[in-house]
């Protein structure tokens, strides 16, 4: 058996945790140091668990080229439009708004407050279509 859990580091992890909360995630675990840096946190939305921490180095995110950074997280959601709109209202940057795909699903893409790529969609990977 294998399970996959993603983690991301951010310069301003507390702000990104606020952004994720605005998207509907709940912070279920958080450990900060005395200076307010997030040593470890976990957020949950349904079956999704993501770990977030304050960056411990000057990491560089890949820049947006066209409509992608080449690396991102994909979140299967019931309402792509609502998720996109909440992400942008909370400080994300729209890469492309909700749209229908050629393969019969709906999708949208945003960059989080520090440029991390997030795609929202109705397509479920691993399920026959």
E-only strand ranges, 3-102? 6-10, 26-32, 38-45, 48-54, 72-76, 93-100
When the pLDDT of each residue in the chain is averaged and rounded to a whole number, the result is: 96
- CATH (domain of 95): 3.10.180.10
User: 90 lies in a domain?
Assistant: yes
User: 67 lies in a domain?
Assistant: no
Confidence of residue 129 (pLDDT cuts 50, 70, 90): low
- Residues of the domain holding 45: 6-54
User: What pLDDT was estimated at residue 54?
Assistant: 98
User: What pLDDT was estimated at residue 127?
Assistant: 83
User: 93 lies in a domain?
Assistant: yes
- Reported as a single tens digit per residue, the pLDDT across 90-126 is 999 999 999 999 989 999 999 999 999 999 999 999 8
Cα–Cα distance between 16 and 48 in angstroms, integer?
Answer: 16
Domain match, 76 and 116 both? yes
Cα–Cα distance between 126 and 129 in angstroms, integer?
Answer: 9
Domain match, 76 and 50 both? no
Cα–Cα distance between 85 and 47 in angstroms, integer?
Answer: 22
User: 17 lies in a domain?
Assistant: yes
**Total number of domains in the chain:** 2
- CATH (domain of 35): 3.30.720.110
User: 106 lies in a domain?
Assistant: yes
User: 92 lies in a domain?
Assistant: yes
């Amino acid at each position: 058996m294998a399970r996959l859990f993603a983690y991301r580091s951010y310069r301003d992890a507390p702000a990104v945790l606020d952004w994720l909360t605005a998207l509907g995630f709940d912070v279920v675990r958080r450990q900060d140091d005395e200076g307010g840096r997030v040593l470890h946190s976990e957020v949950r939305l349904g079956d999704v668990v993501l770990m977030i921490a304050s960056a411990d180095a000057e990491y560089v995110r890949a820049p947006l080229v066209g409509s992608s950074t080449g690396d991102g997280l994909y979140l299967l959601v019931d309402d792509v439009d609502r998720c996109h709109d909440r992400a942008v209202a909370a400080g994300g940057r729209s890469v492309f708004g909700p749209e229908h795909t050629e393969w019969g699903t709906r999708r949208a893409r945003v960059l989080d407050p520090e440029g991390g790529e997030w795609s929202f969609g109705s397509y479920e990977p691993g399920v026959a279509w």
